[in-house]
Amino acid sequence: MFLSDFIEQLATRFGGASIHCGHGVDNLYDESVYLVFGALGFDFQRSVTEQNRELLPDEIARLERLVLARVERRIPVAYLLEKAWFAGYEFHCDPRALIPRSPMAELINNRFEGLLNSGPGRVLDLCCGGGCIGIACALQFPACQVDLADISTEALALARKNIALHKLESRVETRQSDLFADLEGRYDLILANPPYVSQTEIEQLPPEYRHEPRLGLHGGGTCGADIAIRLLGEAAGYLNPNGLLILETGYSAEALQARFSATPFLWLDFENGGRGVCAISAEQSRQLIRTGQDADEETPLQLEVNLPGH
């Protein structure tokens, strides 16, 4: 069978099996290309037509094993291949950490245009999982030092594998920490993609997401925003005077909006899709802490959130 026919038939088979594609691609044809190209080593930069050829029997047998695991056990392609791409870079990927998919990739590739005046010296990737955000940042800014921090020792072991993959041992380190608890010093840029899904939302997610670590999904509290709220409250103590926090809050953006209401966040737009990512200056984060400290127990911490289109 030819590559092009295999891919088309696979997309149809995925459709019949109600496969959900939410891990890096948004349609069943691309999901099929991802699996076949990734498994057989075809070049993602070249089209199916350009590389079309007859598949060998052992290649088809190898693909069939992966397809069965995808269809019957609903294992995401990135975990089957044990690799994923983020911001154009390849990463080791396994169930110790979430599959990379943050819209922050676009910000990194644009070198934070309009947000940073110069390359950051010290960067923190907080809630780093397998380390894709901080490592992609280190690759974009060859002079910066990056800390990858996570509470999960398993995720940090994967992150170390990715540091080695990109030969970044001299500039990128891992730190086990419950948010900022075991971190020291201040950063020019903090990139944070904490868990932000509520228990109710987790129960409604397609089966693919059950293969991902719950620690990477559940954001705490009924609305899923508890970890993000705690992170916001502590960030000021870890940002340099001109520092910037970029926080992905995804599903819990509205919950944060309801929780806070006085300092304006900048909610970012993405050409490649994605929402719920905001930029907060060090000054804003200091203001946030002052407001919180001044407030009496009856008055919630106030911080204004402006979501585009809301």
User: Which residues in this chain contact ligand SAM in the complex, by CB under 6 A?
Assistant: 97-98, 100, 102, 127-129, 132-133, 150-152, 155, 178-179, 193-195, 215-216, 227
* Residue with smaller CB distance to ligand SAM, 24 or 243: 24
* Residue with smaller CB distance to ligand SAM, 36 or 208: 208
- DSSP conformation letters of 124-149: EEES-TTSHHHHHHHHH-TT-EEEEE
Closest separation between CB of residue 248 and ligand SAM, Å?
A: 8
* Residue with smaller CB distance to ligand SAM, 59 or 201: 201
* Residue with smaller CB distance to ligand SAM, 188 or 226: 226
Closest separation between CB of residue 229 and ligand SAM, Å?
A: 12
Name the amino acid, one letter, at 6. F
Q: Look up residue 244 and give its DSSP letter.
A: E
Strand partners for 20: none
Q: What angle do CA 169, 173, 178 make, to 5 degrees?
A: 160
* Residue with smaller CB distance to ligand SAM, 63 or 99: 99
Closest separation between CB of residue 53 and ligand SAM, Å?
A: 34
CA distance 303 to 260: 4
Residue 231: both structure tokens together: 């992170």
Closest separation between CB of residue 131 and ligand SAM, Å?
A: 8
* Residue with smaller CB distance to ligand SAM, 75 or 108: 108
* Residue with smaller CB distance to ligand SAM, 31 or 147: 147
Residue 138: closest CA among 117, 114, 159: 159
Q: Report CA torsion sign: 117, 118, 124, 130.
A: positive
CA distance 236 to 285: 5
Q: Which H helix or E strand runs over 159?
A: helix 153-165
Closest separation between CB of residue 224 and ligand SAM, Å?
A: 11
Contact 196, 219 (CB under 8 A): yes
The residue of the chain with the least Cβ separation from ligand SAM equals: 129
Closest separation between CB of residue 304 and ligand SAM, Å?
A: 25
Contact 197, 210 (CB under 8 A): no
Closest separation between CB of residue 221 and ligand SAM, Å?
A: 13
Q: What angle do CA 194, 108, 270 make, to 5 degrees?
A: 80
The number of beta carbons lying within 10 Å of the beta carbon of residue 237 is 12
